[in-house]
Amino acid sequence: MKKINMADPHFDEDDRKWIHREIDAILDGALSMGPNVRAFENEFAARVGVRHAIAMNSCTSALEAALLAKGVAGREVIIPAETFIATGMAVHLTGGIPVFAEISASSLCLDLEDVKRKVTSRTAGIILVHMAGLLSPEVAEFRRYCDSEGLFLIEDAAHSPGARSAGKEAGSFGHAGCFSFFPTKVITAGEGGMLTTDDDAVASFARSYQNRGRDMEARAEHYLNPGRNVRMTEMSALLGRVQLSHLDEFLGRRRRVAAIYGEALAGAPGMQLLLPDDLECSSFWKVPLLLEPGLDREMIAEHMAAAGIAVDWAYQPALHLQPVFRALYGTSEGLLPRTEELLSRHLCLPCHPRMSDDDAIRVAEAIRTAIEGSARHGLGR
Ligand SMILES: Cc1ncc(COP(=O)(O)O)c(C=O)c1O
C-alpha cells in the first residue's frame, strides 16, 4: 500500500541532472553570494510582482528583518494565535510584544474585526498569516486598515507562494512578505526564506541586516546597524530556483487534489472542509477541515495512519498557549475562546504534487470512514 505523507518534496530526473551539473559550477566558482542567489531573488520578485526579494537562511530570519526594519522595540504587534511558533518568536526576539488575536472560522486566518478591537496607541503593526496556503480573504482590507491607522502589515506567507486573488500574489499586499523554503513547504531549498517588498527602506535595511548591518552602498566596510549573517547559500538558491520553475505545475496538482476533496467530501457528515470558492486563492500547503464537536481526532488520525495516510493539525496548541508565551506574557486558556475551540477540532488532509487523483480519492474515502467510525464510537459510549 502506497503511504501518503503530509509532504513529499519533488525533484524529477531533469531537475536532478541540472542540479548535479550546476553544483559543479558552484564548486568551481562562488559558494556564497554568487549568481544563483541573485537569480533566485530576481525570479522570485518577478513571480510575486514586487520590486525587491531578499533571500535569507529562513523565513524566521525574514520575519525578524521585516520587524526590525519597521521598528517594534517596546511596541505591540498583533498576530494570530493560529500559526507556527516562528511568527510569535520573531516578534519577541526583535523586542516587540506579541498580542494574540482571534481567527475567522471560515478561513483560519486572522480576523480583522478582532484585530481592530486590539489596536491601541502601543500597536506598531500586524502580521497576517496566510494559513495552510490560503491568501487571507481580508488581506486587501487589512492593508487599507493599516494604511489608515499608520500601522505596518507583514504577510507571513510561509505556506502560500503563488496564492493569488485578482492577479495579485501573496507577498505583494503588505509592507513585507516572508516565505519559507523548509522541505515540508510548497517549494523547498532545503532551508531558506525570502523577504519580498516594494518598500525601498525595508529592502535596504534587510540587505544590510543580513550582512551584519553593513552599509551596502559603501565600498569600505562600514557597519550602520546591528545585524547578523542570515544569508542564503548558493546551494540552497540552486534548489530554490529549480523548485520555483515548477511552482505553477506544483500548484496545479495541489489545486486538483483540493478540488477532488471538494467533490468527494461535499456534504460529508461530521466535517466541514475549508475550501475557498476560487481555488487560485490558495496554494494548498494542506487542506484543513473542521470536525463536528465531540468527534475523537486522535482516533480519526489513528484510523488514517492504519490506512497508510498521514493527517495532522497545524497548529495545536494555539500560540498563546505555548509554554514559552504563557511564561513570558502570562497568557492562558480562555484568552481566545473562538480560536481555542476551532483548533481543538481542526484537522489537515495531505495535499502535494506527488499525489495522484486516485490518492486523493483514497484519502477522501478514508476520512469519511474514519469520521463515521469515530461518530459510532462516540454514540456507543
Ligand atoms: C507560518 C510560518 N511562519 C514561519 C515559519 C518559519 O519558517 P522557517 O522554518 O523557514 O524559519 C514557518 C515554518 O514552518 C511557518 O509555518
Task: Quick: pLDDT tens for 291-329.
Answer: 999 999 999 999 999 999 999 999 999 999 999 999 999
CA of 158 to the centre of ligand 1 (A): 5
Q: Which long-range contacts (CB under 8 A, 24 or more apart) does 353-360 make?
A: 353/8, 353/10, 353/246, 353/249, 353/250, 353/253, 353/254, 354/8, 354/10, 355/4, 355/253, 355/257, 357/256, 357/257, 357/260, 359/2, 359/4, 359/257, 360/256, 360/257, 360/260, 360/261, 360/264
CATH 3.40.640.10 domain span(s) along the chain:
13-242
Q: How confident is the model at residue 1 (pLDDT cuts 50, 70, 90)?
A: confident
Best of 182, 195, 230 to mutate for ligand 1, by most ligand atoms within 8 A of CB?
182
250 lines ligand 1 (CB under 6 A): no
Query: What are the residues whose beta carbons fall under 8 Å from the beta carbon of 330, sequence distance 6 or more?
Result: none
Query: What are the residues whose beta carbons fall under 8 Å from the beta carbon of 4, sequence distance 6 or more?
Result: 308, 309, 310, 350, 355, 359, 362, 363
**Torsions phi, psi for 179 (to 5 deg):** -115, 155
Best of 6, 54, 59 to mutate for ligand 1, by most ligand atoms within 8 A of CB?
59
Q: Give me the mean pLDDT over the 1-14 stretch.
A: 95
107 lines ligand 1 (CB under 6 A): no
Show the CA angle centred on residue 58, arms to residues 52 and 232, nearest 5°: 65
User: Residue 379: what pLDDT?
Assistant: 59
240 lines ligand 1 (CB under 6 A): no
Assess whether pLDDT exceeds 50 at residue 381. Answer: no
What are the CA-CA distances from residue 218 to residues 214, 226, 317 (Å)? 9, 17, 47
Percent of the chain with pLDDT over 70: 99
Best of 63, 82, 84, 131 to mutate for ligand 1, by most ligand atoms within 8 A of CB?
84
Residue bearing cell 456534504: 267
370 lines ligand 1 (CB under 6 A): no
User: Residue 375: what pLDDT?
Assistant: 87
User: Residue 324: what pLDDT?
Assistant: 98
CATH of 247-379, one of 3.10.200.10, 3.40.50.150, 3.90.1150.10, 1.20.1260.10: 3.90.1150.10
Pairwise CA distance, residues 205 & 215, whole Å? 9
Pairwise CA distance, residues 189 & 368, whole Å? 35
What is the residue with the minimal CA distance to atom 4 of ligand 1? 86
Assess whether pLDDT exceeds 90 at residue 380. Answer: no
193 lines ligand 1 (CB under 6 A): yes
Average pLDDT, the chain: 97
What are the CA-CA distances from residue 17 to residues 20, 37, 135, 248, 324 (Å)? 5, 19, 34, 21, 44
Grid cell digits, residue 93: 526576539
56 lines ligand 1 (CB under 6 A): no
59 lines ligand 1 (CB under 6 A): yes
- The SS3 of residue 271 is strand
At the topology level, CATH places domain 13-242 in Aspartate Aminotransferase; domain 2 (3.40.640)
DSSP one-letter string for 300-345: HHHHHHHTTB--B-SS-S-GGGSHHHHHHH---TTSSHHHHHHHHT
CB 181 within 8 A of CB 190: yes
291 lines ligand 1 (CB under 6 A): no
CA of 180 to the centre of ligand 1 (A): 6
Assess whether pLDDT exceeds 60 at residue 74. Answer: yes
Q: Please name the helix (run of DSSP H) or strand (run of DSSP E) that holds residue 264, with its range, or none.
A: helix 247-264
CA of 373 to the centre of ligand 1 (A): 34
What are the CA-CA distances from residue 56 to residues 38, 39, 66, 85, 234 (Å)? 12, 14, 12, 18, 11
What are the residue ranges of helices labelled H in 160-219?
Answer: 200-209
CA of 188 to the centre of ligand 1 (A): 12
Assess whether pLDDT exceeds 90 at residue 215. Answer: yes
Nearest to 4 by CA among 363, 366, 369: 363
CATH 3.90.1150.10 domain span(s) along the chain:
247-379
CA of 364 to the centre of ligand 1 (A): 28
CA of 1 to the centre of ligand 1 (A): 31
Best of 54, 60, 93 to mutate for ligand 1, by most ligand atoms within 8 A of CB?
60
Residues marked as catalytic = 185
pLDDT tens profile 268-293: 999 999 999 999 999 999 999 999 99
Q: Which residues pair with 8 in a beta bridge?
A: none
160 lines ligand 1 (CB under 6 A): no
